Amino acid sequence: MSFINYSSREINCKIVYYGPGLCGKTTNLQFIYKRMSPEARGKMISLATESERTLFFDFLPLSLGEIRGFKTRFHLYTVPGQVFYDASRRLILRGVDGVVFCADSQLTRVDANEESMENLRVNLREQGYDPDRIPMVIQYNKRDLPNVASLAELHALLNRRNVPEFEASATTGVGVFETLKAVIKLVLIDLKRGGRQ
Amino acid sequence: MSQGNFILREPEYEALLSILRRLLMDASAKVAFLVDKNGTLLASAGDAVGFDTTSLASLAAGNIAATGGLANLIGEKEFSILFHEGERDNMHLSVVAERLILVIVFDRRSSVGLVRLRVRQATARLTEVVAAALAAGDADPGGIEELTEADIESLFK
């Protein structure tokens, strides 16, 4: 649910990075934070455990410039990926406008990806969204590691909707901005349609 | 709640602002913020210069969401009021019209009792304005009609 403030001429949209634990959601945001100019980004907040695992969420606000006289602001959130933080994930999905599903390409994480995608669909439904219609992109992260599943396998397992998908290596930044750009486009196209009513 | 856009137009925005300013004076508070439950700042009154309002809005929403989750666990719908006491400044958060959060920052010049009383009074007025904003949004669901692919592409140049 985007928030449009005609008074201050602002459009605010919420994008959530979802995926299994340690797939690189926080790393995506950290790379975006590092590479965006200070004028375009706000402070990055990480509510993490002492071992730097996401406890509740990471948050990074971006201002990307104006469209038709409206300032565009995107609030990027990550969810905690570990299975037992499901209650927190549901809360963070509230009011989401677009989802980046971040998959871990390693063969050992195939099941975790599938479980997380199913969990995303359940939680979206619970928040009143149609998981087949919400703006979404998929990022296959960690492509630089050995023992990764093939793209065809990952596509077959995770991308039944055939949404835009990207290979990435978030630690080096490969694919990070391509993913972000794609989800922002989908969110704005959805906004143009006046939401998902 | 999760479908459609929330659109705030000039008259409703001005009305919200005026209620916040009045509340600030009546409660002898330092700053008042109105945030939506998704973490976006709608309006603020008082000296917000020293505050990172974007972070504040996001964390206030997270705070209300998390305590709402706790409330559900014990069979409550939500905890509609939260109070955080600091050494110098205190924060009072309350849910307005089920979808917004009113955040008040105050120091020893005020008290939690006074803030709570004034918040209760302001909440009724805020609720009316929010209802008007939602009704206006239903009449005209908004969206940015004239947005083109070229407009969207221009953001990334």
B144 backbone dihedrals φ, ψ, rounded to 5°: -100, 95
* Residues on chain B touching A125 (C-beta within 8 angstroms): none
pTM of the predicted model as reported, rounded to 2 decimal places: 0.90
* Residues on chain A touching B7 (C-beta within 8 angstroms): 3-4, 6
> Which residue of B1, B2, B13 to mutate against A (max A Cβ within 10 Å)?
B2
Q: What angle do CA A139, A141, A144 make, to 5 degrees?
A: 140
Q: What is the pLDDT of residue B94?
A: 96
- Tell me whether residue A30 is in a domain: yes
Q: How far is CA B53 from the centre of its chain?
A: 11
- CB atoms B2 and A127 under 8 Å: yes
- CB atoms B38 and A56 under 8 Å: no
pLDDT tens digits for range A68-107: 888 999 999 999 999 889 999 999 999 999 999 999 999 9
DSSP state of A84: G
- Which residues are A18's β-sheet partners? A101
- Tell me whether residue A197 is in a domain: no
- Tell me whether residue A164 is in a domain: yes
- Rounded-to-integer distance, Cα A161 and Cα B131, Å: 37
> Is the ipTM above a cut-off of 0.85?
no
The amino acid present at A128, given as its one-letter code, is G
Please state the rounded mean pLDDT for residues A147-162.
97
- Tell me whether residue A93 is in a domain: yes
- Tell me whether residue A42 is in a domain: yes
The amino acid present at B146, given as its one-letter code, is E
Residue ranges making up the domain that contains A47: 3-192
Domains and CATH numbers, chain B: 10-143 (3.30.450.30)
pLDDT for A37 beyond 70: yes
**Considering chain A, what is the average pLDDT of its residues?**
93
Helix pair A25-35, A176-192: axis angle to 10 deg: 90
User: Which candidate from A96, A181, A191 shows the least CB-CB separation from B144?
Assistant: A191
* Residues on chain A touching B4 (C-beta within 8 angstroms): 1, 194-197
Q: What is the pLDDT of residue B144?
A: 64
Q: What is the pLDDT of residue A197?
A: 38
DSSP strand pairing (B41-46 vs B31-36) = antiparallel
Total domains in the fold of chain A? 1
pLDDT tens digits for range A40-70: 999 999 998 888 888 899 999 999 989 888 8
Q: What is the mean pLDDT of each run of 10 residues along chain B (157 residues)?
A: 70 95 96 93 90 92 91 91 95 94 96 96 95 81 68 80
Tell me which of A193 and A173 has the higher pLDDT.
A173
CATH of residue A187: 3.40.50.300
Note the residue count of chain B: 157
- CB atoms A7 and B9 under 8 Å: yes
